[in-house]
Amino acid sequence: MTNPLLEEHLLPPFSSITPEQVVPAIEQRLNTNRERINQLLAELKGKTPTWTSFVAPLEEWDDELSKAWSPVGHLNGVLNSDELRDAYNACLPLLSQYSTEIGQNRDLFDAYQALRNSAEFETLSTAQQTTIEHALRDFRLSGVDLEGDKKARYGEIKQRLSELTSKFGENVLDATQAWSKIIDNEAQLAGLPDSAKGLLAQLAGEDGKFKVTLDFPSYMPIMTYADDRELREEVYTAFVTRASEQGPSAGEFDNSEVMKEILALRYELAQLLGFENYAEYSVATKMAGSGQEVIDFLNDLAEKAKPQAEREFTELSDFAKTEYTVDNLQPWDVTYYAEKLRQSRYAISQEDIRPYLPIDTVVNGMFETVSRLYGIQFEEQSSFDTYHPDVRFFHVLKDGEQIAAFYLDLYAREKKRGGAWMDDCRIRRQTIDGVQLPVAYLVCNFTPAVGDAPALLTHDELTTLFHEFGHGLHHMLTQIDVGAVSGINGVAWDAVELPSQFLENWCYEPEALAFISGRFEADDNHQQGEPLPQALLDKLLAAKNFQSAMMMMRQLEFALFDFRLHREYSSDNPVTPEQILAEVRNQVTVVPVSDFNRFQHSFSHIFAGGYAAGYYSYKWAEVLSADAFSKFEEDGIFNRETGQSFLSEILSQGGSREASELFENFRGRSPSVEPLLRHSGIETEEVA
């Protein structure tokens, strides 16, 4: 019996893939790879490995595996079914076990090390050298060169950390679900939009009743709109004390001990691997050069944004006082009055924007934008193997030759995961038969066309599309031929959002909106209509930057707390989250905070997710993208030479060189925070 997942195809044979093929295909690929790797290592015994004899075949086998897995992961996201989900989930532990095995394989590590020390190394390309250096680094970070007791301890720590981080997440979930409040008097929900009330009614499932929960779609509307101050206080209190020793379910799902143990083990892990602390371990794979650099970066931003954040808060307090005679803003008042202020000054309805952003105008305008910047063209294909009729497929051309391709899957539908993302389908790499071209999946969840009108986007959706296309171009326009560092592969985590956030900037430029937007009129035979008026754009910009300094201080509070905690914790000085958070708040917080606030107890990004000592990456990448774009503001947003320079210095280089080196090659200097502050409408002394 043939299995299409195991056959050679230029593109995934979507229409012939079935769930029952998945587990056998992945098992076979993994087992074959294991045998091949053992055989390869046996053949290399006593010989010096070379790129061709060692790394090239490993890369080939890795690519075969990902070609079997990539369509499965994609279909699981965009065309889910119970059978497919089961098959997908059954593969996850197999894949993770395989990657642990590889990461701990001492013979593989030694072979890489021998290649690194061989005379051949100096003759290899930068991309090849980086691939080898990254491999050695990742082996070390997996504890491969630890001996005896230390190796065993490494395994124990990893095991225990995975239990603890999972426990942390469970506690947050359980605490979130443990609290709810039934309201049977609709008047108590005055202020809430009908959509929010509808949701609460649905949650209650009983006529005339409403159920308030701590899930975001319930919590946020209460904090933003509920006129009842006591209700806001009650919900706020329950929310910010989740999984702690405070609040309505005090002590029941308390994460205090979990956090303590996580911090101690992370510190021990970092020490085992030769790092001073966990923060240094985290930055070892990132663009930031050291922990101190991250701290300086965050402190600098905080110092620059704080004066305006204070002014914004004063403005909010004054507004609440004059308009609503509220004297002393409490933590549960801030979001509520901020919304009132926003409505009164910057009200803009995304619905007003929609008619200006019909999907075909937007997609063609996006192609035109990047075509002007990078001299590439797009050609839609009519015949290709697909999984849904909505999906479109394009070739990317340069000088008439195909250099990449992508699937465009734009609309929300049943069985499709929410959100928007870019994923790779094929990576660019040198094979025995020539260069394999990169192929991307671009997925969004826009509202589909209704009636005769085409799909019409909001401005948020427009920027989402540009964001994902930015990731897509990073993947597709790469000129690197080594798979491990081509496209987005091997790019430091704090730099990977650069190309995506960068491309969003064109969504705010009149010169670009002139052809990205065009008012849809039902009876004009699809002529391109009037572009988005300047007055609407001005409102959009003002709304975008509303309270941006306050928002930035909040992000900096999270980032500084996360980074300082992981940097300052040591076995000699076991600082607590409470201590560090209090110090950070002292430095950066401009809004009132309650004594009982235990935000840290539900900070899953860093205690249950992968952002430990890495939360700063969000801001870091924003600084890079804003600063890269500022070069276009200086030279002209469609300056072809600047576009070419961005393409050749950053976009096409993948992970072949350090992100800081690439950035400096393009910008001619190291990153500056000034453009981000300016784009966020934050005035500092220097630039005011």
Number of residues that bind Zn ion (CB under 5 A): 2
CB 69 within 8 A of CB 423: no
Q: Please identify, using beta-carbon distances, which residue of 500 and 547 lies nearer to Zn ion.
A: 500
Taking the complex as a whole, how short is the minimal distance between the CB of residue 420 and Zn ion, in angstroms?
Answer: 9
**Burial class, 498, CB count within 10 angstroms (exposed 0-12 / middle 13-18 / buried 19+):** buried
In 70-147, beta strands by DSSP E = none
Q: Please identify, using beta-carbon distances, which residue of 497 and 622 lies nearer to Zn ion.
A: 497
Taking the complex as a whole, how short is the minimal distance between the CB of residue 467 and Zn ion, in angstroms?
Answer: 6
Binding segment for Zn ion among 89-97, 281-289, 344-352, 498-506 (CB under 5 A)? 498-506
CB 137 within 8 A of CB 285: yes
Q: Please identify, using beta-carbon distances, which residue of 508 and 596 lies nearer to Zn ion.
A: 508
Q: Please identify, using beta-carbon distances, which residue of 232 and 475 lies nearer to Zn ion.
A: 475
Q: Please identify, using beta-carbon distances, which residue of 493 and 599 lies nearer to Zn ion.
A: 493
* Residue carrying structure tokens 């085992």: 272
Tokens of 240: 């910010």
Binding segment for Zn ion among 99-107, 402-410, 496-504, 557-565 (CB under 5 A)? 496-504
Binding segment for Zn ion among 268-276, 348-356, 426-434, 490-498 (CB under 5 A)? 490-498
Which listed residue (489, 500, 547, 555) binds Zn ion by CB under 5 A?
Answer: 500
Binding segment for Zn ion among 234-242, 269-277, 493-501, 575-583 (CB under 5 A)? 493-501
Taking the complex as a whole, how short is the minimal distance between the CB of residue 474 and Zn ion, in angstroms?
Answer: 10
Q: Please identify, using beta-carbon distances, which residue of 423 and 557 lies nearer to Zn ion.
A: 423
Q: Please identify, using beta-carbon distances, which residue of 497 and 557 lies nearer to Zn ion.
A: 497
Where do the H-state alpha helices sit in 186-333? 194-204, 216-225, 229-240, 256-272, 278-283, 291-324
**Burial class, 554, CB count within 10 angstroms (exposed 0-12 / middle 13-18 / buried 19+):** middle
Tokens of 589: 């917080």
Q: Please identify, using beta-carbon distances, which residue of 259 and 507 lies nearer to Zn ion.
A: 507
CA distance 370 to 375: 7
Binding segment for Zn ion among 390-398, 499-507, 535-543, 617-625 (CB under 5 A)? 499-507
Tokens of 572: 């000699």
Tokens of 194: 């009908």
**Amino acid, res. 216:** F
Active site residue 468: yes
Nearest to 157 by CA among 279, 282, 264: 264
Q: Which of 280, 312, 461, 468 is catalytic?
A: 468
Tokens of 680: 């966020």
Nearest to 74 by CA among 149, 148, 11: 11
* DSSP line for 127-165: HHHHHHHHHHHHHHHTTTT--HHHHHHHHHHHHHHHHHH
Taking the complex as a whole, how short is the minimal distance between the CB of residue 421 and Zn ion, in angstroms?
Answer: 8
CB 116 within 8 A of CB 128: no
For residue 422, give the 3-state DSSP assignment: strand
In angstroms and rounded to an integer, the radius of gyration of the C-alpha atoms of the chain is: 27
Taking the complex as a whole, how short is the minimal distance between the CB of residue 422 and Zn ion, in angstroms?
Answer: 8
Taking the complex as a whole, how short is the minimal distance between the CB of residue 496 and Zn ion, in angstroms?
Answer: 7
Q: Please identify, using beta-carbon distances, which residue of 130 and 463 lies nearer to Zn ion.
A: 463
Binding segment for Zn ion among 61-69, 346-354, 400-408, 500-508 (CB under 5 A)? 500-508
x/- track of binding to Zn ion for residues 444-483 (CB under 5 A): ----------------------------------------
Nearest to 684 by CA among 295, 296, 311, 298: 311
Taking the complex as a whole, how short is the minimal distance between the CB of residue 390 and Zn ion, in angstroms?
Answer: 22
Reported as type and span, the H/E element at residue 32 is helix 22-44
Tokens of 247: 């609040």
For residue 318, give the 3-state DSSP assignment: helix
Show contacts with Zn ion in window 199-218 (CB under 5 A). Answer: none
| 301-334: b (≥16 Cβ within 10 Å) or e | bbebbbbbbeebbeebbebbeeeeebeebebbbb
Taking the complex as a whole, how short is the minimal distance between the CB of residue 497 and Zn ion, in angstroms?
Answer: 5
Taking the complex as a whole, how short is the minimal distance between the CB of residue 375 and Zn ion, in angstroms?
Answer: 25
Q: Please identify, using beta-carbon distances, which residue of 246 and 500 lies nearer to Zn ion.
A: 500
Q: Please identify, using beta-carbon distances, which residue of 197 and 467 lies nearer to Zn ion.
A: 467
Q: Please identify, using beta-carbon distances, which residue of 333 and 497 lies nearer to Zn ion.
A: 497
Taking the complex as a whole, how short is the minimal distance between the CB of residue 244 and Zn ion, in angstroms?
Answer: 31
Nearest to 72 by CA among 8, 31, 23, 9: 23
Q: Is the dihedral of CA 14, 16, 20, 23 positive or negative?
A: negative
Binding segment for Zn ion among 47-55, 353-361, 491-499, 520-528 (CB under 5 A)? 491-499
Q: Closest CB to Zn ion belongs to which residue? A: 500
Binding segment for Zn ion among 489-497, 559-567, 643-651, 652-660 (CB under 5 A)? 489-497
For residue 467, give the 3-state DSSP assignment: helix
382: left (phi over 0), alpha (psi -120 to 50) or beta: alpha
Strands 392-398 and 377-381, by their bridges, are: antiparallel
* Interaction of residue 176 with Zn ion, rule CB under 5 A: no
* Longest alpha-carbon distance in the chain: 83
CA angle at residue 525 from 520 to 529, to 5 degrees? 35
Taking the complex as a whole, how short is the minimal distance between the CB of residue 471 and Zn ion, in angstroms?
Answer: 6
Taking the complex as a whole, how short is the minimal distance between the CB of residue 638 and Zn ion, in angstroms?
Answer: 23
CA distance 491 to 609: 20
Binding segment for Zn ion among 288-296, 340-348, 397-405, 492-500 (CB under 5 A)? 492-500
* Residue carrying structure tokens 């503001």: 633
Residues sharing a CB contact under 8 Å with residue 596, sequence separation 6 or more, in sequence order: 237, 240, 241, 246, 247
Q: Which residues are catalytic?
A: 468
Q: Which residues are near Zn ion by CB under 5 A?
A: 497, 500
